[in-house]
Structure 1
Amino acid sequence: MKSKVLNSLLFWIVVAILLGIVCSLFFPVWLARVFVTFNGLFSNFLGFFVPVLIFSLITPAIAGLGRGAGKWLGITAGIAYGSTVLSGLIAWALSSALYPTLLAGHTLATDVDDPEAGGLSAFFTVEMPAPFEVMAGLLLAFVVGLGMTAVKSNTMYSFFSELESVVMKVVTVFVIPLLPIFIFGTFLNLGMNDNLGSTMSAFGIVLVLAVVMTVVIVLLQYLVAGAIAGRNPFVALKNMLPAYFTALGTSSSAATIPVTYASTLKNKVDENVAGFVVPLCATIHLSGSMMKITLYALAIVYMGSLPIGAGQIAGFLLLLGIMMVAAPGVPGGAIMAAVGLLQANLGFDESMVSLMIAAYIVIDSFGTAANVTGDGAIAMIVNRFAAGSIEGHELKNKQLDDAPASATEGSTAV
């Protein structure tokens, strides 16, 4: 089960962080450089693989959405995308207001490669050029996905579904198992170049802020949904608490679908609307994940003094809202989908990416809980206008029938 994979990954990442800190106290430079060499190779592989992952996962996702429920699919997807991007904009505004105070005096220098200066260098590097750029992969995914929808190409849809399975296999049997070693090397490097204390204290602050803001963003969503649907937002949010805590325990949107569906019905949402919106938004609505990634990324931008302009950040948020469609099915998938953008748009190096992955997975369940609870708010909004207009259809039937029988069996980690 993917939820067990993610929980196991969380355990090993915590172990990797602790071991990296401890080993930085006594490792000889030559041995530490072995892990720095590994990190360089693994980072180059991610640079090669992530565009392929984005293309392979987003293409069938776009094609699948095109087989959905007509105009209400577009409206629901638009609301979900708007909610996700708005979450990122709130995180951006918050970081701009708070980081100059919260992170004052904290610096991040991960690119020191001179042992004489306290850093570590790799023994060798191997260039692994990507078959295409991240943006090219995203655009190609949209073109091919929409094209398959237009011509109703079942053959190509089957091909890309199998390609998705192949790419997922690479992620689960190769990339995910190596992440703890990657993160170990990062914290080992940070400890040996005397940058660990500042980084850990700063990221501790950002982690707490991220947890708080995932709760705040859910509250804001229900205030808006309650106003539109004409319902008490606090009662509605109370009805969704079983879904929130189930997601908190499973770290899985898909495993929580039955609970989210049942909780949504308590808010007097039409069962056809709930059956359509809940499984769809489990795939495309990631406001909690967006909040965490944006807060982490901008913390690194601030501490690393990266020359990133407002236009680059805005572009990053708009594209990330689309790319995270590739997240379902990948343990910690939102951050994996974000890797290409972090490197291409924000100029992150391998150590910065490793920090992002570690910080994201450590509190992954809070982002997932915010994602699925927000799905109930979107269902309330859609129900206000679409009740009686959406009838049983293949998207509802397929996704609810395929969902786990309980919230603790089988999952797709987000």
Structure 2
Amino acid sequence: MRRMGLLTRLVIGLAFGIFVGYFSKEILQFDALVRLLATFNSIFGGFLSYVIPLIIIGFVAPGIAELGKGAGKLLGITTLLAYASTVIAGTLAFLVGTGLLPRIVNAVGGQASNPEEALVKGFFQVDMPPIMGVMTALITAFLFGLGMAYIKSKSLYQVTKDFQEIIEKVIQSVIIPLLPIHIAGIFANMTYAGEVVRIMTIFGWVFAIIILTHLAMLLFQYTVAGAATGKNPFRALRNMVPAYLTAIGTQSSAATIPVTLRSAKNNGVSEGVADFAVPLCATIHLSGSTITLTLCAMAVMMMSGLNPIFSMMFPFVLMLGVTMVAAPGVPGGAVMAALGLLQTMLGFNEAQLGLMIALYLTQDSFGTACNVTGDGAIALLADRFARGPVTEPLQEKIA
């Protein structure tokens, strides 16, 4: 299993869960297997809730500290462009979701989730209260990140980077390997309760809507960049195709940086700006991930009979642009960083978080591809508006 890709393992887990749920209900007419998986889900969900504040501190604090130093005006311009692009992407996703998702959910059969009482409970529960609340973790991360940038503390920065490595190791070695079992438990429970057909139908439609919204956002980004720089937006997009395809394979913006750099330079971005803006955008520009998270969250809410409104979703989008800064370079890093916001701002429970993870990870490659392709547009704009040379690459700014 470890030799398989994450998406393959998730699909196997999903199929196994559906089989267990169907077999338990139609053949055995006994819920012991489903309850066993539900017990695992309860423990895993509790552990996930415990880790969420640690993920926020481990990744947001050093990410903000890194943004606090850098190349002055160019850093400010690139960061502002990246954040604006992320917010516009989330707003576009909300508008698309508002127009299309209600029709899909209603056409498939109205509310497409199980009431809480219809789900099979585990044999027992293990309480794992987090050491702090999510909002406390966010405030702490902002405080430490800004403080490290202000006092230029190398020692404290190194401590937070070491802590980030620990949390990333937890994600890579514990959470990601166990996710297929978690997904299996979720879909076994839903199959046993008789809701899996409607949910899978909605998932397929949401997947298609997400990909189309990614493409629309890329067209918007390169239209703006082309208007500002006088370049043909379609030719610029064509030059970024190698980066897009590489990101689909790697599922990592960081791993795609060399190809993104080459593609950006082929679009005429000066070498100094490209060497600075592309690595920076790999950690702070997540327009594709924001589109995916927004649409997935709206779909899960509608499947639960809730109505996502602008006053609820827009603050969520604004916070996504901050909390996903320096999201871990592992598949699904963006959704891991966003779990706290889903809990506190949208009120997601453990079952909804599990659905969110499953829905997000099935298209993570395409979200990453949208992210890195959009980085090329940000680099074009930064090259147009920046004034003054960049004297050293970003990775040398924090030493």
Structure-2 change in CA distance of 1:238 and 1:291 (3 Å): same
State the match for 2:172 in structure 1.
Answer: 172
Alignment of 1:384-403 (within 5 A): 384-386=384-386, 389-395=388-394
The Cα of 1:179 is off from its aligned counterpart by: 0.8
State the match for 2:16 in structure 1.
Answer: 19
Instruction: For residue 393 of structure 1, give the secondary structure of its aligned residue in structure 2.
Output: coil
Query: 2:33 is matched with which residue: 23, 31, 34?
Result: 31
Amino acid at match of 1:18: A
State the match for 1:206 in structure 2.
Answer: 206
Amino acid at match of 1:210: I
State the match for 1:287 in structure 2.
Answer: 287
Instruction: For residue 91 of structure 2, give the secondary structure of its aligned residue in structure 1.
Output: helix
The Cα of 1:287 is off from its aligned counterpart by: 0.4
Alignment of 1:34-73 (within 5 A): 34-73=36-75
Amino acid at match of 2:41: N
Instruction: For residue 23 of structure 2, give the secondary structure of its aligned residue in structure 1.
Output: coil
State the match for 1:89 in structure 2.
Answer: 91
State the match for 1:403 in structure 2.
Answer: none
- State whether residues 92 and 294 of structure 1, in contact with CA within 8 Å, keep that contact through their aligned partners in structure 2: yes
Between the aligned partners of 1:208 and 1:14, the Cα distance in structure 2 is 17
Instruction: For residue 121 of structure 2, give the secondary structure of its aligned residue in structure 1.
Output: coil
**RMSD value, Cα:** 1.9
Amino acid at match of 1:267: N
- Residue 113 (structure 1) aligned with residue 117 (structure 2): yes
State the match for 1:227 in structure 2.
Answer: 227
The Cα of 1:284 is off from its aligned counterpart by: 0.6
Q: Tell which deviates more after alignment, 345-354 or 276-285.
A: 345-354
Structure-2 change in CA distance of 1:86 and 1:50 (3 Å): same
Amino acid at match of 1:83: S
- State whether residues 36 and 122 of structure 2, in contact with CA within 8 Å, keep that contact through their aligned partners in structure 1: yes
Structure 1 residues not aligned, in runs of 5+: 400-414
Between the aligned partners of 1:6 and 1:335, the Cα distance in structure 2 is 23
The Cα of 1:311 is off from its aligned counterpart by: 2.2
Between the aligned partners of 1:398 and 1:259, the Cα distance in structure 2 is 22
Structure 2 residues not aligned, in runs of 5+: 25-29
Between the aligned partners of 1:396 and 1:102, the Cα distance in structure 2 is 45
The Cα of 1:250 is off from its aligned counterpart by: 1.6
Amino acid at match of 2:179: L
Amino acid at match of 1:19: F
Alignment of 1:283-362 (within 5 A): 283-306=283-306, 308-362=308-362
- Residues matched between the structures, number: 391
The Cα of 1:113 is off from its aligned counterpart by: 3.2
Between the aligned partners of 1:394 and 1:286, the Cα distance in structure 2 is 21
CA deviation string 1:270-293 (max 9, x = no partner): 110111100000011000011111
Between the aligned partners of 2:22 and 2:393, the Cα distance in structure 1 is 58
Between the aligned partners of 2:326 and 2:115, the Cα distance in structure 1 is 29
TM-score normalised by structure 2 residue count: 0.94
The Cα of 1:397 is off from its aligned counterpart by: 5.7
- State whether residues 54 and 326 of structure 1, in contact with CA within 8 Å, keep that contact through their aligned partners in structure 2: no
State the match for 1:411 in structure 2.
Answer: none
TM-score normalised by structure 1 residue count: 0.90
The Cα of 1:394 is off from its aligned counterpart by: 3.9
Amino acid at match of 1:233: P
CA deviation string 1:39-61 (max 9, x = no partner): 11211211111111111111111
Between the aligned partners of 2:260 and 2:234, the Cα distance in structure 1 is 17
Percentage identity across aligned positions? Answer: 46
